Structure formats: C-alpha cells, structure tokens
Amino acid sequence: MPPETNPPPAFDVVVVGAGPAGSAAALEAARAGLSVALLERGPYPGAKNVYGGVVYGRILDELVPDWWEHMPVQRWVTRRSTMLLTGSQALTVDFRTEDWGRPPYNGATAFRAELDGWLARLAEEAGAVLVPSTTATGLLRDAAGRVTGVRTDRPGGDLTARVVIACDGVNSFLAKEAGLFAKVPGRQAEHTSLGVKETLALPREVIEERFALSGRHGQDIEILGCTGGIPGGGFLYTNLESVSVGVVLSVTGLAASGERPEAVLAGLKEHPAIAPLLRGAELKEYSAHLIPEGGHDTMPELVGDGILVAGDAAAMCLAAGIWLEGVNYALGAGMYAGRAAASAVAAGDTSRAGLAGYRRLLEDSFVLADHRRLRRVPGLVFSDRVQRSYPGLLCEVAQGFFTVDNPRPKPGLRRLLSDAARRRGVRVRHLLSDAFTSARSFR
C-alpha cells in the first residue's frame, strides 16, 4: 500500500489584508506566476479605511510605472509645513515648490478607500484571487510547527499555502500567534498611538483661497504642541473639496490624562492658527485608527517558518516628527515580501532560512535603512521636552526676536534662547543632548 501523502497547498501564497502592503505583496507574487489568495475582512478593499492623508509614491515607480497617471489622487502636495503651537502662538516653517506639482511628483493626498481598491485591482489583474468579507482567525501549522496556511471565519474556510504574508495591520494577531513579537521590549500599548481624524467639506475654491493653492496643488501641515500635554501631534491635509484634520495621541498618555480624543481634536480646531482655515466647514466623517509608532526597535521578527510580516503588522510606520509616513513603507515591504515569497517557492524552501531574502531586501532598501537611522527619533519626539517645553520655547524666542521694543536695543538670539530656556526649566545640557541626538539621526 503506497504511503499517504499530504495534498498540495491550495495556494502558493496567502496574503492577509488588502491594504497597501497586502496588495503590493499579492501583486508581486502574482506577477511571478504564483497562485495567490488576497484576504480582506471588509466587503471590499478600503471599505474599513477612512484615512485621508499623504502618500509618497516614489516606491511606486518600481511597482507601478507611471503610477501618477492611474492612482486616485486628491491633490499633489506642493506645500509642506511644520507648525509649533502654544495656546496663543504658532511658529511655522513653510516650504513650497512647483517641482512637486509635475511628474514624477513627490507626494499626494488620497483617500484609502480609493487607493486600496486601485491597488487590489492591480493584484487581481495580475492573477491574484481576492477573497473579501473574510477574516483570518488563526494560523495552520504542520507537525513541525511550520506555518502552512490560515484559518478563516468561513465554514470550512481553511486556506493552505506555502507562504503566509501577514499584512493584517497594527496589533497583528497572526504575527503574535507566530511568536514574532516575543522579543519586542515593553508592552505594545507603549509603542502605539491613536489617530483621530475628521474630514471636513469645504468648496474647492475656498480651500484654494485659504491655503494659497491652485489647480491640483495641495498642502500638508504637521503640527507639534497641539495635544494638551499628551505625547503626540496633529495634522491638516487638503483634499479637492475637503480637508482632513486630526491628532495622533500616545495610547498610554491618553489613558493617563483622562481626556477624550475628540476633545483634544476640538481644541486643535479652535486654535487661532487653525480655526480660520476651517471656518464654515461641514463635518463629513469622523474616524479613529491605531498607529504603530515605536520605530525600528519595536518591530517584530519579520520572518518565520512559512510566514512573512509587512506594513503596520510589522510596525513599519516612521514617526520622526518632521516625517510621519507609513503607506510608502507598507508598499515597499509588501513588494519585497512578494518577491521573497516567489524566490522561496521557486527554490522549494519556504522555511525561515528559505525566506530570509525578505530581510535582506528590506535592509538594502529605504524600508529598514530609514527606520534604523532614525531609531532614536521616536523616543526624542515623544519626550516631555519636545512635547511640552520646546514648542513654547521656540515660539517665545521667535516672538522676542520679532518684537520691536524701542528704545531698548534688540536682544541677541543667544540671550533670547537662554532666557526662554531658563523660564521653561530647560537646561543647556538638555538642549545639547537633544541637538546631538537630532544631529546623529538626521545627518
């Protein structure tokens, strides 16, 4: 009697989550000729996403050539601002360039409901099978513990695969079940923020007048000092006929404060530097979303036996004060995960060793290079001095610098900085230490 053999897997690759990371992974794996299932727990890709933010498309040059001719875009970001707030002051560094308003572009505001659908369609056109309204509830394993697929909430809905790519978002249950978070220091809540956002409708011509824009040009404003002492920050983005305004708040800081996130957001909207930009706007949508902001040192292991992790599931969000980026890292990681899976399947080795090429691809790219270089910045950005002291200190210095106080002579910058630091309890050694950390990170 011949020995029993296990049936072949239903798919070469099962990708869990049809966000940017998942669709990029499915697209690359399908292009390589693999059989691919792309699972999405919403009724369609983007159904549960209410994000309106900035997408940086440079990685799309490699994934989808001439992407700017096809991607659903609200506005091209040609104006990039960083704003520091106190209760009555605002100090803004404002940069704009016409170069970002023409191909190949730099960044764009977009709606995830549209972006995710577009990316998933590309994966389907390449041969991936989209399975919507389906939640992966756990992992399938063989006798040796190697991942061999996923369980789903469908009756008899187990899906076997040579490789599972977990792109199931922040707080990834699949990555945790695979044991890939075992070595991450601290509690996950300590490395997680809550983003709350409102989409406010305004006529297109009003947006362009208030933000000094024209055509499809748009503005991205990142804000510090607007969260009432809770570690975090704020943002304001322009869409075609709406603006997205919100705050990102440390989960543990928010819990300790006793504040409601919508109250913090309301405070930002009422600030004298922000309120005139939103006057007369109509609320169209309110949303909340968890964001992994711990950076490089809080990432899980990215490779296991039969499993890869990408995007928010792998904590690939860069929260570095000047930059708050996630979609581009998800796209890059997903693309490399799809390539690594294809290579491993072709070689007949989907063990941890056979899939190790994924990590090498990430290390040779911007995905891990950026996170590694900026690994100290999340700790600096969320520190008490940056959150509570520096916005007021810098606003006070700016106000003193531009105040005309005749008949007194104009004070020097060193004196203004020294006086403001003393009044706010900031020691020179703290300024030097934080300046050194910044210089090492942003060099």
pLDDT in tens, 66-116: 999 999 999 999 999 999 999 999 999 999 999 999 999 999 999 988 999
Residue 146 near residue 351 (C-beta atoms within 8 A): yes
pLDDT at 4: 44
pLDDT at 1: 42
pTM for the model: 0.93
Residue 9 near residue 161 (C-beta atoms within 8 A): yes
Rounded to 5°, the CA angle 356-186-303 comes to 10
Share above pLDDT 70 across residues of the chain, in percent, rounded to a whole number: 96
* Range scoring the smallest mean pLDDT among 125-129, 139-143, 188-192: 188-192
DSSP string, 86-137: -SS-EEEEEEE-GGGGSTT-SEEEEEHHHHHHHHHHHHHHTTPEEE-S--EE
CA distance 232 to 225: 8
Q: Which ranges of 237-365 does DSSP label H, i.e. alpha helix?
A: 251-257, 261-269, 275-278, 327-347, 357-363
Work out the widest C-alpha separation in the chain, in whole angstroms: 106
Say which residue the tokens 């991936």 belong to: 128
pLDDT in tens, 244-289: 999 999 999 999 999 999 999 999 999 999 999 999 999 999 999 8
Closest Cα partner for 74 from 200, 215, 261, 259? 215
CA distance 196 to 283: 14
CA distance 238 to 74: 8
Secondary element (H or E) of residue 249:
strand 242-250
Burial 310-321 (b: 16+ CB within 10 A, else e): bbbbbbbbbbbb
Tokens of 176: 């945790």
* Burial of 367 (C-beta count, 10 Å sphere; 0-12/13-18/19+): buried
Tokens of 132: 């919507």
pLDDT, mean over the chain: 92
Residue 308 near residue 165 (C-beta atoms within 8 A): yes
* Range scoring the smallest mean pLDDT among 113-122, 295-304, 434-443: 434-443
Closest Cα partner for 166 from 349, 352, 334? 334
